[in-house]
Amino acid sequence: MTEKTALTPATHTTPPAKFSHGVKKGNILQVAGQVGFLPAVEGQAPTPAGPTLREQTLQTLANVRAILEEGGATWDDAMMIRVYLTDVDHFAEMNAIYNAYFEEQGLKEAPAARTTVYVGLPKGLLIEIDALAVLN
């Protein structure tokens, strides 16, 4: 039986409850929902990257990537990405940011993706992203 390993990169705060930022078991890595918080600073509360969808989306993607890398994965290992927006009017802007980001990353094949509107994020946060990766 393969052991399950919790992942918390140095850039992330320790979760406030009994959950992990990411979990790896065998060749499967699940990244928990990430938001656009800047890298953790000890003794300070998490801080959003900025008020705009662009700032938060790019930071959220950086946070997901940090967990993928902590688990030995890259974006090319991502099989599924789920995006949760707080405003239906953000779909087009998020798609443009997402497409440009992955073009810059040199992604070989796009993962499956799903975007939905979700209103349960803390005040001021506009986007949450999670990912499922399978490592070779």
CB distance 77 to 135 below 8 Å? yes
By three-state DSSP, how is residue 99 classified?
Answer: helix
Calculate the alpha carbon distances from 56 to 3, 9, 73, 120 in Å.
33, 19, 22, 16
- Predicted local confidence at residue 42, as pLDDT: 86
Phi and psi at 67, nearest 5°, equal -75, -40
pLDDT < 70 regions, the chain: none
Q: Are strands 112-117 and 78-85 parallel, antiparallel or unpaired?
A: parallel
Q: Which residues on adjacent β-strands are paired with residue 22?
A: 7, 31
